[in-house]
Amino acid sequence: MKKSKEFIEPMGSWKKTNSCGELRKNDIGKEVILMGWAQSRRDHGGLIFIDLRDREGISQIVFDPKDSAEAHEKARIIKNEYVLAVKGKVIARLAGCENPNMPTGEIEIKVMQVKILNTSDTLPFNIDDKIEISDNLRLKYRYLDLRQLKMQKNLQLRHQVCMEIRNYLNSKSFLDIETPFLTKSTPEGARDYIVPSRVNPGKFYALPQSPQLFKQLLMVAGFEKYYQIVRCFRDEDLRADRAPEFTQLDMEMSFVDRDDIFNLVEEMFAYLLNKLFNIKIKTPFNKMDYQEAISRYGADKPDLRFGMEIINLTEIFQISSFKVFGEVIQNKGEICAIKVESDEEFSRKKLDDLSLFITSFGVKGLSYIKVKEGKDFQSSISKFLSPEEIDEVKLKTDSSQGDLILIVADQKEVVYEALGNLRLKLAKDLNLINHGKKEYNFLWVTNFPLLEYNQEEKRYEAVHHPFTAPLDEDIKLLDTDPLKVRSKAYDLVLNGNEIGGGSIRIYNNNLQKIIFRLLGIDDERAEQKFGFLLQALKYGAPPHG
């Protein structure tokens, strides 16, 4: 037997006629040339079967010494991930040998000639979607990981999504305009990646966290409708929804209000899901005020696939003799609860685990009431509450036998964050979300606060960014009560995940200066950092967002 290296051959004049994933029963009889990687090899005595893989899928190829002794001889040395080119004929698989799990499962290729285009060393892991591979190994050999059909399909889908986004926006008269990557640092909420300038020693560029200011300048320039599928960079810790670099669809429109933007985005999602997945979604999407989202779900990106809403019990305990609740109310805190409807019995250990979980968000403890038959109940705070208070809690939460009421008392922000996270944990623990059912609960969260107060640094900060416009009716509060000012900012949420967001921008020079001053950026510093924007806003900037 010759060594495998001696079998390596050039492609020569061979041209690939089909992909490995496209051949079907109606191709039977066709002579084809396929090229790809040997996924697996099976020697069944006289016959050798190889699954040949390319980016489109897998075809089973068959080496029979009766058809070609030379090809069969070569097949004996082929190993996983050898690169092959084969000439052969499409034939039907024998009855009972079909594979319904493969798109090409009704046919196979009878090989007449084969070329081994390259060999492969033993791989650190098999190219198989069904095998669990550690993340470290996958990342070390990313080029091998990307050979997996699942990864190939993911990147192909990404390409298709981008193409359909372009098709849709082009049909709406948007212009695809590139913006610079080497720019100056501007406040966006995360740290910048900086790039030293060779021609200006001691000075640095910043990689953009988003093309925010560039696209606003494009609106001042009169382009009206801009989009870009753009790479963005943020120097922050890696989390499930955070990455140092990522790609986003960036858009900006002139002469529009919030509803115009909502309509465009909703129509785009309906188009994409129908075009790519044959999924029809309901529009318009639901809308929810920021304060309502916090008070009902404890989050500005609520998951609406299950209930378990937060219920405010503060009014019930206004004159309670329970000292803990009384002190919370006296300190302008709130007492809230969520009701858990479940067949699962919550043991003392389980309740202790929930209490430990929730204290990680800053609350001092978790109280509970287990509703029993009739007026019977079990509670961690039963000796502190009157029967009337218990009845009022049961009435307010609409509880019945078997329900569990979980109560938290603390400062408002702490209470809602803690219960919002507890709600998500319980949904996971109790399997309240049917992951097998495809649900698309889109939601616009609107009217975010314009500002928040940083207690440590004793200053106001922008909730979104400094270029977000306040609601027209709240502008008068900028001088007297800035924290009550709502913004024209909005986020698009899908099943508890923020998938997009934006705002109507400030397009008035004087209003932009007022916002800068509230943020502690005086006129001199504003001119130094944002002089180009302030200047542009003097020259007839249109309403945009």
Residue 419 counted as domain residue: yes
Q: Per-block average pLDDT, block size 10, for the chain (545 residues)?
A: 66 96 96 97 92 96 95 94 97 93 95 97 89 92 94 96 98 98 78 92 93 96 98 85 90 98 98 96 97 97 95 92 89 94 84 92 92 85 88 92 93 96 94 85 97 91 95 96 97 96 97 96 93 96 98
In a domain, 143, yes or no: no
Residue 43 is predicted with a pLDDT of: 92
Do 241 and 204 belong together in one domain?
yes
Which residues sit opposite 492 in a β-bridge?
Answer: 444, 500
Final residue belonging to a domain, choices 94, 118, 142 = 118
Residues 96 and 42 placed together within one structural domain of the fold: yes
Q: Note whether 20 and 104 are same-domain residues.
A: yes
pLDDT at 189: 64
Residues 475 and 408 in one domain: no
Same domain for 170 and 112: no
Q: Indicate whether 265 belongs to any domain.
A: no
HSE-up (13 A, CA, CB side) for residue 507: 24
Residue 131 lies in a domain: no
Domain residues for the domain of 459 are: 449-486+505-536
Q: Which amino acid is at 489?
A: A
Identify whether 296 is part of a domain. Answer: no
CATH number at residue 408: 3.30.1360.30
Q: DSSP assignment of 293-354, as one string?
A: HHHHHSSSS--TTS---EEE-GGGGTT-S-HHHHHHHHTT-EEEEEEE--SS---HHHHHHH
Give the pLDDT score at 188. 59
Q: Does residue 417 sit in the same domain as residue 477?
A: no
> What Cα–Cα distance (Å) separates residue 319 from each residue in 322, 323, 384, 390, 409?
9, 10, 13, 14, 15
CATH number at residue 242: 3.30.930.10
**pTM for this one?**
0.89
Residues 335 and 390 grouped into a single domain: yes
Determine the pLDDT at residue 1: 45
Q: Are residues 193 and 249 in the same domain?
A: yes
pLDDT at residue 344, rounded to an integer: 77
**CATH number of the domain bearing residue 66:** 2.40.50.140
On whether residue 50 sits in a domain, the answer given is yes
Amino acid, res. 237:
D
Same domain for 423 and 454, yes or no, is no
Are both 481 and 422 inside the same structural domain? no
Domain shared by 425 and 466, yes or no? no
Does residue 522 sit in the same domain as residue 462? yes
Domain finish residue from 67, 94, 118: 118
- In whole angstroms, give the CA distance from residue 164 to residue 145: 27
Instruction: Indicate whether 453 belongs to any domain.
Output: yes
In a domain, 311, yes or no: yes
Count of domains observed in the chain: 4
Boundary-marking domain end, from 363, 395, 429: 429
Alpha-carbon gap, residue 223 to 174, rounded angstroms: 9
Q: Which 3 state secondary structure label does DSSP give 151?
A: helix
Q: State the pLDDT at residue 285.
A: 98
Determine how β-strand 334-340 pairs with β-strand 57-63.
Answer: unpaired
